[in-house]
Amino acid sequence: MPPRRPKTPKSKLDPPAVARLPAVTPATSLQPKQSHQHFDRAARGVMAKLSGGVSNHAFIEAWSDWAQHLARSPGRQLELIEHAQQNMFKLLASTTDRDAEPPFTPRPYDHRFTHPDWQKPPYAFWQQGFLAVQDWWDHATEPMRGLCREDAERARFLARQTLDLVSPSNFPWLNPEIIEATRDTAGRNLTEGMTKFSRDMLKTLSGHRDPPPKGFEIGKDLACTPGQVVFRNDLFELIQYAPQTEMVQAEPILIVPAWIMKYYILDLSAHNSMVRYLVDQGFTVFMISWCNPTADQAELSLEDYRKRGVLAAIYAVSAIVPDVPVHAVGYCLGGTMLAITAATMARDGDTRLGSITLMAAQVDFVEAGELLMFLDESQIAFLEDLMWEQGYLDRPQMARAFAAIRSEDLIYTRNVQRYLLGRDDLPSDIGVWNADTTRMPARMHSEYLRALFLENRLTAGRFAVESRVIALKNITAPMFVIGTETDHIAPWQSVYKTQLFTDCDLTFVLTKGGHNGGILSEPGHKGRHYRLSHRAEGALYTGPDAWLAQHAPKPGSWWPEWTEWLRSKTGDAVPAPPMGAAEKGYAPLMAAPGSYVFQP
């Protein structure tokens, strides 16, 4: 266990008793008081498994709200009729003039119509007809006066999901790429695809996982930066990476990854490992490797992850590299937890954090993107029933929600390639990591969804730790915040709002890419660019749209900018510290990547 820190003297500025709120919904919300409720929750848990954890109540309510508002809006109905006529005329015009530009184009991430024969008749007409209908539904589900915006977005989502199901690209007799492959292989693509479908279905039903393909072995090809596990409890292992330079920066770095993923997204292959890059640049790096919780750990709480996770890791790093600040880095949900920990430490007068880096991490959840479509009281209660039965939320259940947001590419394009064209998925390091799924304990996930996503307590001044509210404005350590341009999990505008709720010195970077790809932006990565700005402590706030217009993109990777920023904060070069500190209870336990990363 980490050494006990002396109690911080109580400040005269402590919030009054009236402000002392419970941090999150009590755990008893997951434990029905009446026995007959167990039957109800078990039944709803089965329904949740069948639906992938998605409640149909919210979507039925959304359709009803949309339809009623449309029914009492005759002007809107006329507008939609006119829009349908315009789309029809555009479609007819494109069939008579083959040299004209197609009037409708797929979304940038939609790769279903990339085969060149989609531009030839009759496939072009089918493609354009589908896109015309899609365009009409996008217009029809735009917000109307009086219509709840969330219901409009859910109605659009449902319309899009229905259309994606009947896209001409999904049918072998309408897709020119499938027709060509069937002709060239005498139908072998279909038989091989059905074999793959049967094998995948059996694996899904049985829960079996294939081992990583050759060349992507964890600990050898992935997560292979040398180091030692120097601390372990039931929640996480702490990895200290071996120095690669004789002299290192005096102050260490602690990385807090999200608990919904294995940590090695940040220590992937040798060429794109952020950890290896930092170590090669002369930094002493520590990494939290979270456990993959089982049903026995269903009662792990959000407070456990803060106190016995992030805070315990800070204690350990401070003991191994004593008398200097720790520079903490948080990714995704790990960044949110780091922000909560940092605000709590600031409230209590704990100054051990020298700087804070938040990568694709949100502190405000009002604009949390399309994931909010799946989150309301009905949906969270549905997930709680699912977790109540099995003790955790399995990541495949959550991954289906992520995939549905980009179903064109993540579901249908892949399924056509694999099951109708008979092509194997090309192995990749990020693909292997993405398939290495994790679970989330029931209590913690319920608390997280309610306190942050649903009630947005952190930036509303209503998030309490140890019965006292915390405020991000109390953080004085300098911050480096990274958003990614096409992130549909943590939209960059939402990440940018960290500037609205803090007053400290802050550097913001907006980089090309998505939630994972934008962070894995190593030097030499082709086609990368980023925007960068610095906000001095106490400076006025600039909105995201104005900020974007004021900052032109720079070519290349943002990593060198970040490492130079870190170097300016982490002191002078000193001899590399030893691995662990056995005399303080942090002896090396085993070689990296440790044991928790292998938990199935």
Looking up tokens 């903490």 gives 328
Q: How far apart are CA 445 and CA 451, in angstroms?
A: 10
Are 156 and 269 in the same domain? no
- The answer as to whether 592 is a domain residue is no
Catalogue the active-site residues. 332
- The answer as to whether 136 is a domain residue is yes
- The answer as to whether 67 is a domain residue is yes
Q: Which of 114, 145, 166 is the last residue of a domain?
A: 166
Are 447 and 520 in the same domain? yes
Please, what is the angle between helix 123-140 and helix 74-96, to 10°? 160
Tell me the DSSP string of 495-551: HHGGGTS--S-EEEEEESS-TTTTT---TT-TT-EEEEEEE-TTPPP--HHHHHHH-
Are 374 and 521 in the same domain? yes
Are 160 and 232 in the same domain? no
Q: How confident is the model at residue 36 (pLDDT cuts 50, 70, 90)?
A: low
- The answer as to whether 181 is a domain residue is no
Q: How confident is the model at residue 28 (pLDDT cuts 50, 70, 90)?
A: very low
Amino acid at 328: A
Question: Residue 18 half-sphere exposure, CB side, CA atoms within 13 Å?
Answer: 0
Sheet holding 326-331, edge to edge: 554-555, 529-535, 506-511, 479-484, 353-359, 326-331, 253-256, 285-290, 236-241, 227-232, 590-591
Residue ranges of alpha helices (H) inside 110-207 are 123-140, 149-165, 176-185, 188-206
Does 280 or 422 have the greater pLDDT score? 280
Q: How far apart are CA 595 and CA 337, in angstroms?
A: 23
- The answer as to whether 516 is a domain residue is yes
Query: What is the mean pLDDT of the segment spanning 29-55?
Result: 60
Question: Tens digits of per-residue pLDDT, 258-311?
Answer: 998 899 999 999 999 999 999 999 999 999 999 999 988 989 999 999 999 999
The pLDDT assigned to 397 comes to 58
Q: Which of 150, 7, 18 is nearest to 461 (CA)?
A: 18
CATH number at residue 534: 3.40.50.1820
Query: What is the mean pLDDT of the segment spanning 411-424?
Result: 85
Cα–Cα separations (whole angstroms), residue 30 to 27, 385, 441, 445: 6, 8, 12, 11
Residue 232 has pLDDT above 90, yes or no: yes
Cα–Cα separations (whole angstroms), residue 224 to 239, 257, 261, 516, 587: 12, 17, 17, 19, 21
Specify the DSSP element, H or E, that contains 78. Answer: helix 74-96
> Which of 211-215, 256-260, 583-587 shows the lowest per-residue confidence on average (mean pLDDT)?
211-215
Residue 21 has pLDDT above 60, yes or no: no
Dihedral sign computed on CA atoms, order 480, 277, 436, 233:
negative
- Whether the Cβ atoms of residue 244 and residue 277 lie closer than 8 Å to each other: no
Dihedral sign computed on CA atoms, order 567, 569, 572, 574:
negative
Q: How far apart are CA 571 and CA 573, in angstroms?
A: 7
Does 373 or 217 have the greater pLDDT score? 217
Are 101 and 248 in the same domain? no
Amino acid at 504: C
Question: Tens digits of per-residue pLDDT, 159-185?
Answer: 888 899 899 999 999 999 999 999 999
Specify the DSSP element, H or E, that contains 253. Answer: strand 253-256
Q: Which of 166, 184, 204 is the last residue of a domain?
A: 166
Residue 215 has pLDDT above 80, yes or no: yes
The pLDDT assigned to 440 comes to 86
- The answer as to whether 420 is a domain residue is no
Across the chain, which distance is largest between two alpha carbons, in Å? Answer: 82
- The answer as to whether 32 is a domain residue is no
Question: Tens digits of per-residue pLDDT, 430-464?
Answer: 888 988 888 889 899 889 888 998 899 999 999 99
Residue 31 has pLDDT above 60, yes or no: no
Q: How far apart are CA 459 and CA 536, in angstroms?
A: 21
Are 362 and 494 in the same domain? yes
Q: How confident is the model at residue 20 (pLDDT cuts 50, 70, 90)?
A: very low
Are 442 and 309 in the same domain? yes
- Could you tell me what percent of the chain has a pLDDT over 90? 61
Tell me the DSSP string of 226-247: -EEEEEE-SSEEEEEEPPSSSE
Q: Which of 149, 166, 183 is the last residue of a domain?
A: 166
Query: 3-state SS of 214-225?
Result: CCCCECCCECCC
Q: How confident is the model at residue 396 (pLDDT cuts 50, 70, 90)?
A: low
- Could you tell me what percent of the chain has a pLDDT over 70? 87
Q: How confident is the model at residue 15 (pLDDT cuts 50, 70, 90)?
A: very low
Question: Tens digits of per-residue pLDDT, 484-510?
Answer: 999 988 999 999 999 999 999 999 999
Cα–Cα separations (whole angstroms), residue 75 to 70, 101, 206, 564: 9, 31, 53, 57
Are 355 and 472 in the same domain? yes
The pLDDT assigned to 2 comes to 42
Looking up tokens 């994790």 gives 438
Q: Which of 594, 488, 574 is nearest to 284 (CA)?
A: 574
Question: Tens digits of per-residue pLDDT, 125-156?
Answer: 999 999 999 999 999 999 898 888 888 888 88
Q: How confident is the model at residue 54 (pLDDT cuts 50, 70, 90)?
A: low
- Give the pairing of strands 506-511 and 529-535: antiparallel
Q: Which residues contact 408 (CB under 8 A, 6 or more apart)?
A: 106, 107, 109, 110, 111, 112, 164, 167
Scored b (16 or more CB within 10 A) or e, 101-137 reads ebbbebeeebbbbebeebeeeebbebbbbbbbbbbbb
The pLDDT assigned to 405 comes to 60
DSSP state of 593: T
- Hey, what are 272's tokens? 């794109």
- Whether the Cβ atoms of residue 30 and residue 442 lie closer than 8 Å to each other: yes
- The answer as to whether 192 is a domain residue is no
The pLDDT assigned to 507 comes to 97
Question: Tens digits of per-residue pLDDT, 372-387?
Answer: 666 777 777 777 777 7
Are 366 and 281 in the same domain? yes
Looking at the structure of the chain, the number of domains it has is 2
Cα 196 to chain centroid, rounded = 29
Q: How far apart are CA 135 and CA 142, in angstroms?
A: 11
Tell me the DSSP string of 185-206: HTTHHHHHHHHHHHHHHHHHHH
Domain extent, residue 69, equals: 56-166
Residue 554 — φ and ψ, nearest 5°?
-110, 140
Cα–Cα separations (whole angstroms), residue 96 to 83, 100, 186, 545: 20, 9, 34, 41
Q: How far apart are CA 145 and CA 69, in angstroms?
A: 8
